[in-house]
Structure 1
Amino acid sequence: MPKKCQITKKKSMLGQNRSHAMNATKRKFSLNIQYHKFWLPDENKRIKIRISSKGLRMINKFGISKIYKQFIV
């Protein structure tokens, strides 16, 4: 399963490390993704989603039921 947030659809990004001599080596910027369980009172069930920290802040702001209807279903 790819490292991707199920709410914001963000994924890891590619970039470069730069030394003092400006040599470039490839690297990967990974997201802060965790599994989190949420209770949906409308459907009376628990869901488990992969979510980034920004997605978690969106859920705190708008509510899980609105986010679930808009992004996941």
Structure 2
Amino acid sequence: MSAHCQLTGRKPGFGNTISHSHRRTARRFGPNIQRRRYWLPSEGRYVRLALSAKGIKTVDVIGVEAAVARIRARGEKV
């Protein structure tokens, strides 16, 4: 599973870990991706989405139908 949110498009950020001696080593800040299953009434089936924490809150506000419509508008398969 790639570390990106299907709804918001959040991806890993990159930066440096800085030690006490101030040496820098590359690191990656991963998004908080959760796999959630939602009932899609219009199709009569469940859909499984990989969403960030912000994406889950967005689905709670706009509804699963609108969220799936946004994902499909971007060209992703659901």
Please name the residue that 1:35 is paired with.
35
> Where do 5+ consecutive residues of structure 1 fail to align?
none
Separation (CA, whole Å) in 2 of partners of 1:64 and 1:14: 31
> 2-11 or 17-26, which moves further after superposition?
17-26
Please name the residue that 2:51 is paired with.
51
Separation (CA, whole Å) in 2 of partners of 1:45 and 1:63: 15
Cα shift at 1:19: 1.8
1:67 counterpart = 2:70: no
TM-score by length of 2: 0.85
CA contact (8 A) 1:38 1:47 kept: yes
RMSD over aligned CA atoms reads 1.2
**Count of matched residue pairs:** 73
Q: Which amino acid aligns with 1:8?
A: T
Q: Secondary structure at the match of 1:2?
A: coil
Q: Percent identity?
A: 30
> Where do 5+ consecutive residues of structure 2 fail to align?
74-78
Cα shift at 1:31: 1.1
Please name the residue that 1:10 is paired with.
10
